[in-house]
Structure 1
Amino acid sequence: MTAPSYLRYPHPNGDLLTFVAEDDVWAAPVAGGRAWRVSADSVPVSTPRLSPDGAHIAWTSTRDGAPEVHLAAVDGGPSRRLTHWGSGETGVRGWLPATGDGEPEILAITPRGQASTRRTVVRAVPMDAGASRVLPYGPVSSVAHGPDGAVLVVSAGQSRGRDGARWKRYRGGTAGKLWIDRDGSGTFERVHADLNGNLEWPMWVGGRIAFISDHENIGALYSSLPDGTDLRRHSPLDGGYARQAATDGERVAWMRRGELWLLESLDADGPRPLDGIRLAGRRADRRPRPVSALRRLGTVAPDHEGRGSAVETRGTLHWLTHREGPVRALDVRPGVRARLPRVFRPADADGEWVLWVTDAEGDDALALAPAAPAAEDEGAPPRLLAPGELGRVLDLAVAPDGSRAAVATHDGRLLLVDLPDVTDVTVGTDAADAAVHELDRSAHGDVDGLGFSPDSAWLVWSHPGSNPLRQLKLARVADREVVEATPLRFRDFSPVFTRDGKHLAFLSERTFDPIYDAHVFDLSFPAACRPHLLTLAAQTPSPFGPQRHGRPVPGAPADPAPGGDANGTDAEADRSGHGEGDEGKG
């Protein structure tokens, strides 16, 4: 063929062969040559079957939504939809030869009118789109008519219309089983019950029955006498699964790994590939598929002036300016996942810097790069910090001055990482050593809610205890001393320092106001979680308490705290006892 194509569902009849390629039905000479489209809908189609006289092709099409039976002339012309069953299990299986002066009918399976979609029956569909009739074979997934009224069927189980290659080596009770009615009396007997495999695509070829089976662990074409004796294999086991076999009564065609194969007769030495078929006309080709970044949007970390944000989407990291500016790619390397971006501005730096987690070297590491690199550094990979020393990172926080980062790992550890001076960082260089210190560890779960104080001197987090309890802890960064901010009595989480560094705001499930249920005689606590505020120093007054000169109007300065300036920004924690917190009065 002139270009690689994935061909499926072949069916030979006389000098013609029909098959599926590029979501359309095609026809071509069996001897090879130029193929032409029979359908032009560009929708999923399957199981095309040539009529006994070779003048028409029936197939299963999803053009209008659910699979339905469609019919068209081989020589061209519009297709006609023959059924309106609305079932996803509908599928064409072949043709029922004409009797007398009538026309042949199309054989199709469908659960239409049945109690379950698993109960598919065979219906004979007239070519004029008239009313179909149910054939008396019971629940089956495929059918083949033989000489003297003989019928070969596959029972309806998991195999109804599905390829065995999609559920390989299944040996359960719903695997496909062959049943035969040898004289058309309506009495079926099991055949090949000793084959421990999934049997599908039944066919009559001459005086023998043929089918696909994977009882030798690979789907292959087999045939036997109708009584099950003289079993032969006609396709190799080392070339992939044989799939979607069909016959015209003498020859058998099937698909294997997107290629078509033909067995001239059951007495032939072996199959031959149908590699002389050329697809003509407009061809479908590979093209990039646009992916919506919004549907896979991860973390968004804005800068301190609201001019831009570090945005993570689908494992890539970008710097997005909010108004009238470019979008820069910070880390878009194939096979590398970037996540948890954090933006900070060091005191001695001219612009914003971004710290994030990357798996560029396999294990999680920290990556550091400027949000707006110099022109000569555009496209250079970021500087890696502490590769292989962190474990799997679950949460990340960076100090406002860029001196340190806090890392929460999957094994309950809380780590403090010393970051290098950004004035000495060169992007695109090898990984740098960074001092990693363990601050705390929990045996009850994962640490989360990491946050630094405005002066970068303190770190706060939510520490897990026995489920569902959590408490807040503080660590002084200079000497790594850890103190408990709240007792382990409630579920305290999502802590954050106020802008002046004198309070901790957090959420806590500690409100126990019972409410009577409206439907049953019972009490509940539906509003237990509320925001709370914790003063960090004993001399700091509660912002919700009374003030000496009364509460000021909005915009006026508040009363200064005893011994200090009310507008100070240095955080200081009182380590003399646990804080209980004041409930927020929004």
Structure 2
Amino acid sequence: MRHPLALAASLLAASLSVSAAPTGLLRQPAVSAQHLAFVHGGDLWVADRSGAHPRRLTSHAASEFAPRFSPDGQRIAFSAAYDGNVDVYVVPVAGGTPQRLTWHPGRDVVSRWSRDGQRVLFASPREVLNGRSNQLYEVPVGGGFERKVMEAQAFEGSWSPDGQRLAYRPYNMAYAGPSGWRLHRGGSTPPVWIVDPVRQTWAAIPHVNASDSNPVWVGDEVVFISDRDGKAANLFVFHTKTQALRQLTRETSWDVKSVDAHGSTLVYEAGGRLKSIQVDGSGAADLAVDLRADSPQLRAQWKDAAGSIEGASLSATGKRVVISARGEVFTVPVKDGSLRNLTETSGVREKDALWSPDGQRIAYLSDASGRRHQVVIRPQNDAGQPGPAVTHLLPADDYFTLRAWSPDGQRLILADQRLQLHALDLKAAKPALQRIAVSPRRQGFGGGFDLSFSPDSRFLATTIREANHLTRVVVFDFQTGQLQPVSDPLVSAENPVFSRKGDLLFFTASTNAGPTRVGLDMSTQERPLRAGVYAAVLAADGASPLLPKAGDEEAPKDEPKPAAPAAGTKPEAAKAPEPKVKPVRIDFAGLAQRIVPLPIPERDNQALAVAADGALWLLDRRQPGIVRDGNAGGDGPAPADLHRFDFEERKAKLVRAGVADFSLSGDGKKLLLDLGRGRLEVADADAKADAKPLDLSGLKARIDPRAEWKQIFDETWWMQKAFFYDPAMHGLDWDGVYQRYLPLLAHVQRREDLNELLVEMIGELQVGHNRLGGGDVHQETPVPVGLLGADFTHEQGAWRIAKIHTGDAFNPFLRSPLAVPGQAAQVGDFLLAVNGQALSGTRNLYALLENQVGKQVTLTLAKSADGTQGRRQIVVQPIANEAALRQWTWVERNREAVDKASGGKVAYVYLPDTGAGGFTYFNRMYFAQADKPALIVDDRRNGGGQAANYITELLARPYLGSWKDRDGLVFDTPGSAIYGPKAMLIDQDAGSGGDFLPYAFKRLGLGPLIGKRTWGGLIGISANPPLIDGGFVTVPFFRFFTPEGEWRIENEGVAPDLEVELDPLAVNAGRDPQLEAAIADVLRRLPQADPNLPRKQAPAPAALGK
């Protein structure tokens, strides 16, 4: 399907309209006495203050952002992602080569300048002891040591005109980065605080439950952005002397996104346009900026599609592979021939391509009709040239997946987002969808059905997830229209596949799957699944595939005679008659008694397939929690081992390890291996299975960026409509949202701009977990910067080690480079040189550690700054990330503080998330302290993951009794329980599963919540597929409600019983007011705990036999 003329005309009209109107999508304005700076297309631009005479200041393909003028207006500090690392740079306003000021691999984002213009203020997470936060630093414009402004967390700040006070935002925002969440009203609604670090005072600008950000000083006033009016984010002004607060702007259609000031003039961004206003409210004006410059990302380009493969399958005999990638349909030869792109439709997404069973046609889905799917069937002749296509338009609004083609070529099977399975009869006069199954529950986050046709195409075996969360194998009969169960309701059965003869139906079944089925529950963690492989004998008079072997001689078989040659033809030209497909018979009565277990070990067996020789192929998926290799959380499915079960030998043998997926050709003689990361191999489906890589070097697509971006825009809008948990879209006019945002698409200059625009669009739904990002954005070749797992100070002109984060001795993946026995540094050592290069003056330590990750690096240390005392050298291997080291330092510091303050009576357990990490942390910390009578659980900055029922159920267990050992200590049932007072620490950065955990803790009456209101995001993701270029959008498709039937937590958070702020002055002094409050609360209640719960002493037996 080629580019329609109408599409080309519309795009041309759009481009013409853009050239005649002011440029849009102008971001992050900055203003000086004479100039205006802003970001457009990822580059920095400078113009007159009116917006006239714009010129591009930077032109690197990587993102440049956060421009800020120096006080004299001669330089601009900004952040850029050069070399894959976000750092601070300075460039003259007149232009030139930017000067790099930071090298640390943490994300260093420019905030403002010092008032004397000698330092750049920036925010970074580099030394945060526990994630999801930033701190403020200053770096000299000449380079050198970056000084931390204060220990308290901060995301952005601005110094007062006298340089004494800092107005700053202390918390993260819910509406930021890939997260679209306008008008958030949960816990992540940051205030603006003003601190005087010298006088040790601080105050908060009057705050309500809204998000305040971007503070900037204008004399004695602080201007900031706030969405407190409940309509849109606007500018507000706070007078620090009179304490008066007033609203400055009245934007209603678009949020104010950023602001800067010079003198009394403010410039800000709203709706992709720049505006100015005086701080007294006068002089409001739009700044019309007309940019006319080349945009490299707008050029049509040939893109490698191998990295965005969505699906691949072999042709009937395995001579070619059809691949769906980057919205195109390709066929790739296994051996002979050339690669072909059958569609060539940039701006249209074709996907889910399937070969017909006879290899003569290809079917796929297309959205060429616009935000609606159609089935396209394209016949192919012997020369491989595409013939005319046949299309079948599918129902509007629904989002379909093409799943299978019947062996007789008559039917296509499709699934939709409503958990329905459909058949499309291609031989019908008017083909229409026939619903054949509905799954009561979603089968995993993909929502897919396992499928297998019988050889005669009469039956379709599939799976449905039932109300009990177990999966059942069912068979649909196209002759009778009936759906019949095959597997027992007391097992979880999956992966059905018919034998080649149609006499057997193989499937997997598990009797221990129950505790693993509700994946949202943390109690599913580290529960190995055991699934056996079974064969259902379909006919009542059928035979088991494992009948005993008699060892007798076989009777000779009559060989079929070849057909006589037709008159006038040569004998060799005659062909043997094609064998007829034997009708398949299924006797459902008594089928449950004809299920035979195969001698294959029970494990996570998946993806059954039957080859031409009758052998059964299957995957053994490796399960988490069995082996710890430090590589958890990788891309794609967990690696699996491919096995082949031979019915003659009656034994399964390992064929290939490290396989992501596999499939067979239509005739069952060829094997397609998916090894992940765009690697495909093809082999004969025999015992050896010697595989050869499929050549994908030519898998390229010509991409028209504007056409593809329009498709991504449309599909993002469409996926929200199709997958959002509420079909009514919370009452929002979603069609109106489309029309409002569509004109801005013409101003997109690069893929990153499109992401920003789409995040704003999905933000109109005002819910959490609605995120978008990735895709074909620019990727820098990373230059990793090494880290030493230490804090440094700058004393006597030299770098000095202030703290070494030693890590965890019992976690082999958490070790500090400076704490290796025999090559260890010490706190107080001066670091003088790296690999012989002196670290002095304006040299930056991290500049010397650039490209040194994992390499042997020689450090010169000394006990004195001049190197005259205790000078020595050690050899270390810098690491790429030290966040986990710092987190463990923070956890251990808290645990020791609790232990010391309570005299060893209170346990402390931290949970970084409610997924695998939180499960590991809880088990590591809780059971080791279960002998203590009281407990503090720290949920702060919890990244979420699952509903932590495992933790709350364990903490809520009632005491049932104790057992007396003759010589050992009494032990209890349940064991390892803490029955004394408990408390939970919470804050605004604990969200998702970090919201549910304190909700459950409070509902079960386990103890008070102490700290700040949590994030407020209990709406779940994600059932929708990725975007055409690999970008992600996570549409929430389920939401939490309480036993009372109330929508709670989402956009609300969980409120503490005792609210405690993290006083920045206390934090700067090394204190943790929230932890101190929790300790005090638990110790206050500890004397009131029942000393007999549990009973630690048992009375002596009263009498014989008693």
| TM-score (normalizing by structure 2) | 0.41
Q: Report the Cα distance in structure 1 between the residues aligned to 2:275 and 2:430, rounded to whole angstroms.
A: 58
1:63 paired to 2:82: yes
Partner residue of 1:94? Answer: 112
1:286 to 290, 295, 298: 298
Letter in 2 for 1:432: K
Show the counterpart of 2:210. Answer: 197
Deviations 1:195-254 (A, max 9, x none): 442222222223433222211131222224224544343333135222221112332112
Does residue 382 of structure 1 match 2:382?
A: no
- Relative distance call for 1:399 and 1:272 in structure 2 (3 A) is same
> Partners of 1:391 and 1:416 in 2: how far apart?
15
Between 1 and 2, higher relative CO (CA 8 Å, sep ≥ 6) is seen in 2
Cα deviations across residues 462-482 of structure 1 (Å, max 9, x unaligned)?
57688757567695x767799
Q: Distance in 2 between matches of 1:445 and 1:190?
A: 47
Contact 1:49/1:94 (8 A) holds in 2:
yes
SS at match of 2:222: strand
Quick check: 1:399–1:405 contact (8 Å CA) kept in 2? Answer: no
C-alpha separation in 1, matches of 2:178 and 2:496: 51
**Counterpart of 1:563?**
none
Contact 1:191–1:228, Cα closer than 8 Å, also in 2: no
1:432 aligns with 2:446: no
Q: 1:8: which partner in 2?
A: 27
**Cα deviation, residue 129, structure 1:** 0.8
Q: 2:37 aligns to what?
A: 18
Q: Which aligned pairs between 1:307-318 and structure 2 lie closer than 5 A?
A: 307-308=319-320, 311-313=323-325
Structure having the higher strand fraction is 1
Other structure's SS at 2:298 match = coil
Aligned to 2:503: 503
- Are 2:277 and 1:274 aligned? no
* Residue deviations 1:447-504 (CA, integer Å, cap 9, x gap): 85432335x5x536357688757567695x7677999888878747523243xx3732
Q: 1:405 to 1:399 in 2, by over 3 A?
A: farther
Deviation at 1:37, TM superposition (A): 3.8
Structure 1 residue 5, shift from structure 2 partner: 5.3
The correspondence of residues 376-455 of structure 1 with structure 2, limited to 5 A, is 378-382=387-391, 396-400=404-408, 402=409, 419-420=426-427, 432=430, 448-454=450-456
CA contact (8 A) 1:492 1:509 kept: yes
Please tell me whether residue 79 in structure 1 is matched to residue 107 in structure 2.
Answer: no
Deviation string, structure 1 residues 342-381 (Cα, Å, up to 9, x no partner):
6145xxxxx8345667887999887655344999994544
Q: How far apart are the structure 2 equivalents of 1:8 and 1:58?
A: 16
Rounded to whole Å, the distance in 1 between the matches of 2:483 and 2:114 is: 83
- 1:48 equivalent among 62, 67, 74: 67
Q: Residues of 1 paired with 2:201 and 2:259: CA distance?
A: 26
SS in 2 for 1:140: coil
Pick closer, same or farther for the CA change 1:342–1:202 going to 2, 3 Å: same
Q: Which amino acid aligns with 2:123?
A: I
Which of 134, 153, 167 is 1:139 aligned to? Answer: 153
Q: Quick check: 2:352–2:401 contact (8 Å CA) kept in 1?
A: no
CA displacement 1:116-145 (0-9 Å, x = unmatched): 344533333212113233335843333333
Which amino acid in the other structure matches residue 237 of structure 1?
E
Distance between the aligned counterparts of 2:241 and 2:55, measured in 1? Answer: 41
Separation in 1, partners of 2:488, 2:179 = 59
**Correspondence 1:194-273 to 2 at 5 A:** 195-216=208-229, 217-227=231-241, 229-263=243-277, 265-267=278-280, 269-273=282-286
Q: CA deviation at 1:538?
A: 3.8
Larger Rg: 1
Find the aligned partners of 2:115 and 2:390 in 1 and give their Cα distance.
Answer: 69
- Are 1:444 and 1:467, in contact at CA under 8 Å, matched by a contact in 2? yes
For 2:58 and 2:486, the matched residues in 1 are separated by: 72
After superposition, residues 161-176 of structure 1 pair within 5 angstroms as 167-176=181-190
**Taking structure 1 as reference, are residues 227 and 63 closer, same or farther at Cα in structure 2, changes over 3 Å only?**
same
2:354–2:405 CA contact under 8 A, matched in 1 = no
| Cα pair 2:474 2:483 within 8 Å, conserved | no
C-alpha separation between the residues in 2 aligned to 1:484 and 1:248? 74
Seen in structure 2, the aligned counterparts of structure 1 residues 506 and 67 have a Cα distance that, compared at 3 Å, is same
Match 1:570 to one of 582, 593, 601: 582
Provide structure 2 residue ranges, at least 5 long, that are not aligned to the other structure: 1-17, 444-448, 513-526, 561-578, 599-646, 652-1106
**Change over 3 Å in CA distance of 1:275–1:165 after alignment to 2:** farther
CA distance in 2, matches of 1:62, 1:293: 26
2:201 match: 187
Alpha carbons of structure 1 residues 363 and 529: separation in structure 2 relative to 1, 3 Å: farther
SS of residue in 1 equivalent to 2:496: strand
Write the deviation string for residues 359-416 of structure 1: whole angstroms up to 9, x where unpaired: 87999887655344999994544256x979x99788545243x456778899999988
The secondary structure found in structure 1 opposite 2:236 is strand
Q: Which moved more, 1:403-412 or 1:503-512?
A: 403-412
Query: Cα 1:504–1:228, aligned 2, differ >3 Å: closer, same or farther?
Result: farther
CA distance in 2, matches of 1:230, 1:444: 55
Contact 2:225 2:233 in 1 (8 A): yes
Report the counterpart of residue 496 of structure 2 in structure 1. Answer: 494
Assess, with a 3 A threshold, how the Cα gap between structure 1 residues 94 and 160 changes in structure 2: closer, same or farther: farther
Tell me, yes or no, if the aligned pair for 2:330 and 2:339 is still in contact at 8 Å.
Answer: no
Q: Is the 8 A contact 2:474 2:485 kept in 1?
A: yes
Which range moved further: 138-147 or 464-473? 464-473
1-structure distance, mates of 2:262, 2:241: 21
Is 1:300 aligned with 2:313? yes
CA distance in 1, matches of 2:551, 2:174: 82
- Relative to structure 2, which stretch is displaced further, 149-158 or 367-376? 367-376
Return the alpha-carbon distance in structure 2 between the equivalents of residues 449 and 287 of structure 1.
42
Distance 1:505 1:141, change over 3 A: closer
Output the CA distance in 2 between the equivalents of 1:504 and 1:276.
71
Q: What code does the residue aligned with 2:379 have?
A: P
Of 138, 142, 152, which aligns to 1:124? 138
Aligned partner of residue 275 in structure 2, secondary structure: strand
1:550 is aligned, of 550, 553, 569, to 553
Q: Is the 8 A contact 1:154 1:199 kept in 2?
A: no
How big is the alpha-carbon RMSD for the aligned residues of Structure 1 and Structure 2?
Answer: 5.1
Count of equivalent residues: 534
Contact residue 119 and residue 139 of structure 1 kept, 8 A? yes
Specify the SS of the correspondent of 1:64.
helix
The share of aligned pairs that are identical, in percent, is 19
Query: Could you report, residue by residue, the CA deviation over 1:134-169 in whole angstroms, capped at 9, with x for unpaired residues?
Result: 335843333333355552412410149958995422
SS at match of 2:122: strand
Counterpart Cα distance in 2 of 1:434 and 1:104: 72
Q: Distance in 2 between matches of 1:164 and 1:353?
A: 41
Q: Secondary structure at the match of 2:82?
A: coil
Structure 2 Cα separation of the partners of residues 541 and 120 of structure 1: 65
Structure 1 length-normalised TM: 0.71
Letter in 2 for 1:496: F
Cα 1:336–1:381 shift into 2, 3 Å: farther
Whether the 8 Å CA contact 2:360–2:379 is kept in 1: the answer is yes
- Unpaired segments ≥5 residues, structure 1: 346-350, 422-430, 513-523, 561-566
Please give the alpha-carbon distance, in whole angstroms, between the structure 2 residues aligned to 1:275 and 1:525.
Answer: 62
Would you tell me which structure has more helix in proportion to its own residues? Answer: 2
